[in-house]
């Protein structure tokens, strides 16, 4: 897809009944398409269509059901000239989505959930987001031990890159994602954001997906220590979007596009102003 001189905004379209922040709202194909159009109108550059919840504790759905949920939505969005990413860990779903016009495969498992994923990516030439992952949603909270979370995540993502290259995937197809909230306790997410430059140093575009995650709910909790609900985390998400954009992230994945669309534009102007200032010296 066309690149911009700023961080891209990816809007989330959950075609699921059980996603953590908006499960069920966009479950029908018509509702999902309408929501995608709203996200684009609010400033998203593309939408990420997923048919299986990855919230902590979520159970898997059959591949046939995942296909039934996402393929009609993707076809309709592509027909409306909306750029589409598919959020899936399954090679069969990725292949069907790309055949239907998706331009990105966003795999939260980084290819670990399905050994056929890398050959599909290599064969189609599609852009592929490899997220840091250690296990499916029903077990990931048990897999959150790290010596140094930034070092460990970087090392494990390098393993994913090596596997992709071995399968014939070109470097220009690869995007990395630190996997905020996936097999990571709340406190482990902040070093990944604060040291995003270390992941960027790998030389690949980086996607940041902090939107409405649990660690934001805990950060914003009041005196009662009760995490604020997901929809009250959008302002904090936009703040992370601005900081991630200023750090050089390729894309941010969000549920609420309007605030983040403004945030990444502010970050771009801020960086541009710094450059102008340096040139004037």
Short-list 174, 269, 240, CA closest to 9: 240
Task: Give the global pTM.
Answer: 0.91
Cite the active site residues.
213, 253
Give CA–CA dist 161/169, Å, rounded: 9
DSSP state of 181: T
Q: How confident is the model at residue 275 (pLDDT cuts 50, 70, 90)?
A: low
- From edge to edge, which strands make up the β-sheet containing 46-50? 174-177, 127-131, 104-107, 84-87, 46-50, 8-14, 251-254, 207-208
Mean pLDDT of the chain: 92
Res 20 pLDDT > 80: no
Provide the terminal-to-terminal Cα distance of the chain, rounded to the nearest Å.
36
Place of tokens 């997410």: 189
DSSP state of 90: -
Least confident of 77-81, 176-180, 184-188: 184-188
Helix/strand number for the chain, H first, E second: 10, 8
Provide the token pair at 22: 């908006």
Residue 121 and residue 128 in contact, taking contact as beta carbons nearer than 8 Å: yes
Residue 25: per-residue pLDDT: 64
Residues in Cβ contact with 153 at an 8 Å cutoff, skipping those fewer than 6 apart: 132, 146, 178, 179, 192, 199
DSSP string, 201-237: TTSS-BEE--TT-HHHHHHT--TT-PPPPGGGGHHHH
Q: How remote is the C-alpha of 211 from its chain's centroid? A: 9
Res 190 pLDDT > 70: yes
DSSP string, 68-86: HHHHHHHHHHHHTT--EEE
Residue % of the chain over a pLDDT of 70: 92
What is the average pLDDT across 144-168? 96
Q: How confident is the model at residue 247 (pLDDT cuts 50, 70, 90)?
A: very high
Q: How confident is the model at residue 48 (pLDDT cuts 50, 70, 90)?
A: very high
Q: Residue 128: count other Cβ atoms within 10 Å of its Cβ.
A: 26
Place of tokens 């482990």: 188
Residue 173: per-residue pLDDT: 98
Q: How confident is the model at residue 60 (pLDDT cuts 50, 70, 90)?
A: confident
Least confident of 4-8, 94-98, 142-146: 142-146
């Amino acid at each position: 897809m066309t690149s911009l001189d700023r961080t891209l905004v990816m809007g989330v379209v959950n075609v699921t009944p059980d996603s953590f922040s908006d499960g069920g709202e966009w479950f029908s194909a018509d509702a999902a398409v309408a929501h995608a159009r709203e996200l684009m109108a609010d400033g998203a550059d593309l939408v990420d269509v997923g048919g299986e919840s990855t919230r902590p504790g979520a159970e898997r759905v059959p591949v046939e059901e995942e296909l039934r949920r996402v393929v009609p939505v993707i076809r309709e969005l592509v027909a409306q000239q909306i750029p589409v990413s598919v959020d899936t860990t399954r090679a069969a779903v990725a292949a069907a989505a790309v055949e239907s016009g998706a331009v990105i495969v966003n795999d939260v498992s980084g290819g670990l959930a399905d050994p056929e994923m890398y050959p599909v990516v290599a064969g189609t030439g599609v852009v592929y987001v490899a997220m840091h992952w250690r296990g499916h949603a029903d077990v990931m909270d048990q897999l959150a031990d790290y010596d140094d979370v930034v070092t460990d995540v970087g090392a494990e993502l390098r393993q994913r890159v090596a596997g992709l290259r071995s399968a014939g995937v070109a470097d220009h197809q690869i995007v990395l994602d630190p996997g905020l909230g996936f097999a990571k306790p709340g406190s482990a997410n902040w070093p990944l954001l604060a040291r995003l430059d270390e992941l960027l140093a790998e030389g690949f575009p980086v996607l940041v997906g902090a939107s409405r995650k649990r660690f934001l709910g805990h950060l914003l909790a009041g005196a009662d220590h009760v995490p604020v609900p997901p929809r009250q985390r959008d302002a904090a998400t936009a703040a992370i979007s601005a900081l991630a954009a200023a750090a050089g992230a390729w894309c941010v994945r969000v549920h609420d596009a309007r605030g983040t669309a403004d945030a990444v534009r502010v970050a771009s102007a801020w960086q541009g102003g710094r450059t102008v200032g340096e040139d004037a010296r």
